[in-house]
Chain A
Amino acid sequence: MPAFLAGLNPGWLLIAAGLLALFVRGRVVRQVITIAAPILGILLVSGTPHGVDLLTHETLSITLSFYHVDSLSFLFGLAFLIAALLNAIYALHTDNRIQDGMALAYAGAAVSAVFSGDLLTLFVFWELTAVTSVFLILQAGTRAAYFASMRYLGVQILSGVLLLAGIAYVWNATGSLSITAFTSLDQPGALIIFIAFGIKAAFPFLHNWLQDSYPKASVVGAVVLSAFTTKLAVYAFARMFPGQDELIWIGAIMTVFPVFFAVIENDLRRVLAYSTNNQVGFMICAIGVGTPLALNGAVAHAFADILFKGLLFMSMGAVLYRTGTTKANELGGLYRTMPWTTLFCLIGAISISAMPLFSAFVTKSMILSAVASTGMIVVWLMLMFASAGVLEHSGIKIPYFAFFGHDSGKRVKEAPFNMLLAMGMASFLCIAIGLPAFLPGFGYEWLYSLLPYPIEAANYQPFTLGHILAQLQLLALAVFAFILLQRLGLYPPEKPGVILDTDWTYRKVGYGAVRWIDTVWARLGPAMTAIFRGFSGRTYDRLVDAFSPRGVLSRNPVSRGMAVWTAVILALVLLVSYLRG
């Protein structure tokens, strides 16, 4: 590779290409840019040496490292670049400069963030992901999307500000901005950075920006959004908090609670947002375990998730594009007219359900084995429970209610070819990394060889008879439960409506409180002004009445005499002083 290309961060390339795309009016030229940039990025990062600071800059006695690739960041960067390419293909039917440009810049910011070699660079690109991604929600053009995007921006910027505050503590305590793992949350700045990462990873109670914004984004926007932000946070945790015990429980809870929301949610893109929560939970839990096997599992699962979650969002995007809705109660029976979309959606659904021969099977089983090896029975059972839950909401509910089930009577066209192409490529990758290595180095072995601990990965065997049997049992009996409950009429029907979640606290209680304070202030303010005016006015009047030349004190004869006597005494004092002087 030429020397000038070796130091070129593919993330920066994407950002530059994205900014360029903003100003290119010609649709074809712009499309060439959006597709060529990620391809070039993939080529660049494939040939980059690991563990070297490839681009540094010294300023104010701080050494900034802009491009640093190692075994942990490589797969995240690669997955982001692949996602950027698939997203660009998925968007080919549109002609929207802002969306094209910002999607590319957003991907670039995420890539630059994972390849940053110091905390300050990480912070800059951390914020850039927030600022660029908000346009993808705004491009939906609806009023609801506008308000959701503002809430989204607020939460994301809060995460960035907390990160900066944490970095300041770290700088103060250590005098260094290098990205080193924390060993305890008691270290200076650790807890603040933990929360900053936790917001982006959508920790429980901090998760609602995700369900609020992604389903309101544009068709293409939601697909783009699904890939980067949460997985960037997963990378950040793997980098700075590996083996942090708190993450085990946080992750386990993250896998379980979205399952219950997903089952009653009607908007299928919102179901996928909960599903994102649930999958990130597996990764966070594994990072908490922190063993080489667990970290391998977290990274591999992030890679797989970017592909199959993107694929599922793409298929729901195609449905939304053709029907104008993703509400389960308005959909059904679309396989008749969208068979290819149905097929690709099913591949995504089977992949996320961790069916043997599909991607999540080879990635999630590492996480489950790692958790089991710690002996934490409850956590392991929670993850197994969540695995059945994934099958419910992403494996069955999404394809069943959109494409099968009750026939909605909608006879729409199949998705545009570019969408099918992007979905087909994502499907291919979902299967390709899930296959056994029929040829050495292919199938799951390709993914395993790129993991942070390749030796441990090579020693791990996902395709043992025991693993396959256990997973097939879990899936088969869960599907059997679905059919049984359907036949017994015990499966809750899809009903339109809003499902309350923790965002109720700020969208209803918080907003209500602010509105109440506003109303109260609108009345209290003038009332207080009136009271103060009345009080100060009366005081002034009293003073005038007493002390002015026409006041009480002047009108009294004694006062008049007092003035004369004062003058006389002053004259006497002056006279005496003069004579003595």
Chain B
Amino acid sequence: MTDETPTGRDTSGRFVKRAVETVNAMSRTNDEGIHPMSKVLFGWTETKNIGAILFWVLAVLSIILVLADLVIDRHEYFNFAESVGFFGLWGFLSFSFVVLMGWPLGRLLRRDENYYGDAGGPPDDIDPGLEGKPLGGGHGPHGGEH
């Protein structure tokens, strides 16, 4: 955007510093509302097959870390914790157990959002410019108690 303009002038002809303009551009969203910094910071997440890439990267990393146990001598208070890959195994099993328990626990404990009689809504201090936000926030039909 600044490349076409003569040095030191912005599109409306005012003199500006190029750095300031760059900073401005980096905080201005494009027509689809995409923030330019998102490409810089997280553009890599849109890579094709990112799921598979991450899977293999972590698989290799995990293997390396477990194998490192053979080389590095850890000193633990408990003997069993010194065995090769103990922390990795414990982390993997704990994580999987927690996530898999989500299925039966969800079925057991999840109820309708209105179970306690009032599902609530967003608080009053959300973005006033938010689309679909009722005028006056929660002070409409419900706000009479205080």
Contacts and interface: CB of A to CB of B under 8 A. Distances in A.
Interface of A: 94, 96, 99, 138-147, 216-221, 259-261, 263-264, 320-325, 335-340, 342-343, 369, 372-373, 375, 377, 380-381, 384-385, 387-389, 391-392, 404, 411-414, 465-466, 469-487, 490-492, 495-501, 507-508
A481 B94 CA distance: 9
A336 B35 contact: yes
B102 A498 contact: no
15 contacts: A99-B125, A142-B142, A146-B142, A216-B120, A324-B122, A335-B38, A339-B40, A385-B94, A404-B42, A414-B29, A473-B69, A477-B65, A477-B66, A486-B51, A499-B111
Contacts of B102: 260, 263-264, 491-492
Nearest to A511: B116
Interface in B1-54: 27, 29, 32-35, 37-38, 40-42, 45, 51, 54
B127 A94 contact: no
A146 B143 CA distance: 9
* 9 tightest Cβ-Cβ pairs between the two chains A and B: A144-B120, A411-B33, A140-B123, A466-B74, A474-B91, A388-B94, A141-B124, A372-B77, A492-B102
A498 B34 contact: no
Contacts of B120: 142-145, 216
B99 A337 contact: no
Given A141-B138, A146-B145, A388 B125 contact: no
B45 A335 contact: yes
A497 B42 contact: no
A141 B139 contact: yes
Given A264-B109, A372-B77, A389-B94, A483 B58 contact: yes
A374 to B, nearest CB: 9
A480 B98 contact: no
Interface of B: 27, 29, 32-35, 37-38, 40-42, 45, 51, 54-55, 58-59, 61-62, 65-66, 68-69, 72-78, 81, 85, 87-92, 94-96, 98-103, 105-106, 109-113, 115-116, 118-127, 130, 132-133, 137-139, 142-143, 145-146
- Point out which of A381, A476, A507 has the most chain B C-beta atoms below 10 A from its C-beta: A476
B46 to A, nearest CB: 9
Given A384-B94, A480-B59, 15 more contacts: A141-B139, A142-B124, A145-B120, A145-B138, A218-B125, A263-B102, A264-B105, A322-B126, A413-B29, A466-B72, A469-B68, A469-B87, A473-B62, A476-B61, A491-B99
Contacts of B138: 140-143, 145
Given A388-B94, A490-B100, A498 B111 contact: yes
A89 to B, nearest CB: 16
A498 B122 contact: no
- Point out which of B99, B100, B132 has the most chain A C-beta atoms below 10 A from its C-beta: B99
B116 A508 contact: yes
